[in-house]
Amino acid sequence: MKYINEINKRKTFAIISHPDAGKTTLTEKFLLFGGAIQTAGAVKSNKIKKHATSDFMEIERQRGISVATSVMTFEYKNHLINLLDTPGHKDFAEDTYRTLTAVDSVVLVIDSVNGVEDQTRRLMEVIAMRNTPVIVFINKMDRDGKNRFDLLEEIEKELKIQLHPMTIPINSGKEFKGVYDLSQKSLVLFTAGTKAEVDQAIEINDLENELLDAKVGKNDANILREDVELIDGVYGDLKVEDYLSGKTAPVFFGSAVNNFGVKEMLDTFIRIAPTPRPRQTTVREIAPAEDSFSGFVFKIHANLDPRHRDRIAFLRVCSGRFARNTYYHHVRSSKDVRFSNPYSFLARQKDVIEEAYPGDVVGLFDTGNFKIGDTLTEGEDFYFTGIPSFSPEIFKEVINKDPLKTKQLEKGLMQLTDEGVAQLFTQFGGNKKIIGCVGELQFEVIQYRLLQEYGASVQMNSLPFYKACWLTSTDAKKLDDFVKYKQANIAEDKDGHLVYLAQSEWFLNTERNNNPDIEFHFTSEIHK
């Protein structure tokens, strides 16, 4: 319990949403409030050289979307906040799902114009499985969108979560006048481009106060009074324990691009969001307040700084104290490792740290020792559980267009597929390199990064495979015979494990029925 003060200061959360809901913009506003940055980047504008702080890869800046999780650490009101900005695009959902294992709570951004979208539903299913506490931010209230109550009803119905409005908007679109903060009993009037340091709240404890009519007009004041009466009657006061158990999600309305409604949410987040929580392992539950250090790698990123060809493993500290230049036990390899330059992050900027505590995300310089899911401890052998891995659904052969760059291509494929958003297979008995991904956009990113970061020019040709299955069997001869008979469909993953690439569901089911002594696994987790 000697680190309890440090633990209680920390809040670690992810921002998630469907693409274009304003997630990266909201991230920047948080950083502005925390004083971590002075000006926001223009996420959408190609003319302006300042780009979103969290979008650090060149392809992200070109396309205006996030394709990799960024980690940012900042301070706000004596709390140390670790914020993980995730990709919204469905092709990068794996990265987002893994990130959700490294946080203690989530802020879900919903576009008031489009409401709930497919990707949001999928993300909420993952969150519900873990009972992760959620705060909802309904964004773009300054645009003509859906009715406020229709939106609340749609979110509750589609995402199967009970909502609790903390602010209520006064109109929307061109008529948007601001929000009334139900818990603070204050009116916050909307002005475009609000400065982070300006507090605009006007205290109105009694809604019958004529000041409300003077500020928003009699008609809108009366509608607000009815809204508040209705919300008080239906929702009552927020029960923080219901939020912490994932049953209830507090809701805020605002406009991230205009810095509006963000402060109210951030202040509530600081007040109610959970401090680091216990984590389940293969042996027992690990409490944050334990004296011994433990943590797990949930993300790997190659070439965070293209000039130095560095490779960073992102480690979530789960218990105890992580210290620079201290030896820790790498469970999978049974080796002791130490780190002379562990980092904290503000997107691409890295600062060397001396120590870190539960909830913190630390960047570890990696020479190829780490895989996603690896655990570091002070000697105990266990793995943190619940870190997902996925079977690819789209497969492409990598054709090298420049034989002089074969070495660079090999290195690039190894490093980029180590990041966990794609898997690399080598056709059995041959040299054909096959990449498997969950989404089409991932191939585009890999092709682009191979050229930009490794100088390797490639063509990617689609292959007619439907699923990758890892093979195991207690009968070595039967497995051997199967591999010889099905050579065109057999490959090895990066660790030399056998994989069957099925052309269709029918082929897969046929092989499973014909080979009862061979097990077909949909993820490589079996080899851990």
pLDDT by residue (tens digit) across 52-75?
Answer: 444 444 544 444 433 344 678 888
* Section 22-26 average pLDDT: 82
Q: 396 with 434: CB under 8 angstroms?
A: yes
Q: What is the pLDDT of residues 69-108, one digit of tens each?
A: 467 888 888 999 988 877 644 544 566 777 888 899 999 9
Would the pLDDT of 146 be above 70? yes
For residues 23 and 457, which has the higher predicted lDDT (pLDDT)?
457
**Position 365 confidence tier, pLDDT thresholds 50, 70, 90:** confident
Would the pLDDT of 374 be above 80? yes
**Position 50 confidence tier, pLDDT thresholds 50, 70, 90:** very low
* Section 395-417 average pLDDT: 87
Task: Give the pLDDT of residue 307.
Answer: 57
**Position 248 confidence tier, pLDDT thresholds 50, 70, 90:** very high
Q: 473 with 327: CB under 8 angstroms?
A: no
Task: Give the pLDDT of residue 441.
Answer: 73
* Section 336-364 average pLDDT: 81
Distance CA 477, CA 305 (A): 48
Least confident of 83-87, 212-216, 306-310: 306-310
Least confident of 74-78, 203-207, 511-515: 203-207
Task: Give the pLDDT of residue 193.
Answer: 59
How many helices (H) and strands (E) are present in the chain, helices listed first? 14, 31
* Section 213-217 average pLDDT: 84
Task: Give the pLDDT of residue 202.
Answer: 83
CATH 3.30.70.3280 residue ranges of the chain are: 394-527
Task: Give the pLDDT of residue 302.
Answer: 67
Task: Give the pLDDT of residue 184.
Answer: 83
CATH 3.40.50.300 residue ranges of the chain are: 4-173+237-272, 279-377
Task: Give the pLDDT of residue 48.
Answer: 29
- What percentage of residues in the chain have a pLDDT greater than 70? 85
**Position 130 confidence tier, pLDDT thresholds 50, 70, 90:** confident
Least confident of 281-285, 287-291, 351-355: 351-355
Would the pLDDT of 331 be above 80? yes
Distance CA 393, CA 199 (A): 50
Task: Give the pLDDT of residue 403.
Answer: 87
Query: Rounded mean pLDDT of the chain?
Result: 82
* Section 520-528 average pLDDT: 68
Would the pLDDT of 348 be above 50? no
- For residue 498, give the nearest of 510, 484, 508 by alpha carbon: 484
Per CATH, the architecture of 394-527 is what?
Answer: 2-Layer Sandwich (3.30)
Distance CA 222, CA 226 (A): 6
Determine how many CB atoms are found less than 10 A away from the CB of residue 41: 20
Task: Give the pLDDT of residue 67.
Answer: 36
Would the pLDDT of 49 be above 60? no
Handedness of CA 30, 148, 152, 118 (dihedral sign): negative
- For residue 123, give the nearest of 98, 151, 157 by alpha carbon: 98
Task: Give the pLDDT of residue 58.
Answer: 52
**Position 188 confidence tier, pLDDT thresholds 50, 70, 90:** confident
For residues 92 and 313, which has the higher predicted lDDT (pLDDT)?
313
Integer CA distances (angstroms), 115 to 43, 153, 366, in order = 21, 10, 41
* Section 468-487 average pLDDT: 91
Distance CA 133, CA 121 (A): 16
Integer CA distances (angstroms), 173 to 144, 161, 187, 265, in order = 4, 26, 18, 20
Would the pLDDT of 427 be above 70? yes
Q: What is the pLDDT of residues 284-300, one digit of tens each?
A: 999 999 999 999 998 88
Helices (H), 295-375: none
**Position 199 confidence tier, pLDDT thresholds 50, 70, 90:** low
Torsion on CA atoms 252, 253, 257, 258, rounded to nearest 10: -110
* Section 25-54 average pLDDT: 56
For the chain, state the CA radius of gyration.
25
Task: Give the pLDDT of residue 287.
Answer: 95
The one-character DSSP state at 5 is H
CATH class for the domain made up of 4-173+237-272: alpha beta
CATH class for the domain made up of 279-377: alpha beta
Residue type, 435: I
For residues 281 and 28, which has the higher predicted lDDT (pLDDT)?
281
Task: Give the pLDDT of residue 79.
Answer: 92
Q: Which backbone phi and psi does 249 adopt, to 5 degrees?
A: -115, 115
Least confident of 128-132, 324-328, 427-431, 460-464: 427-431
Task: Give the pLDDT of residue 305.
Answer: 54
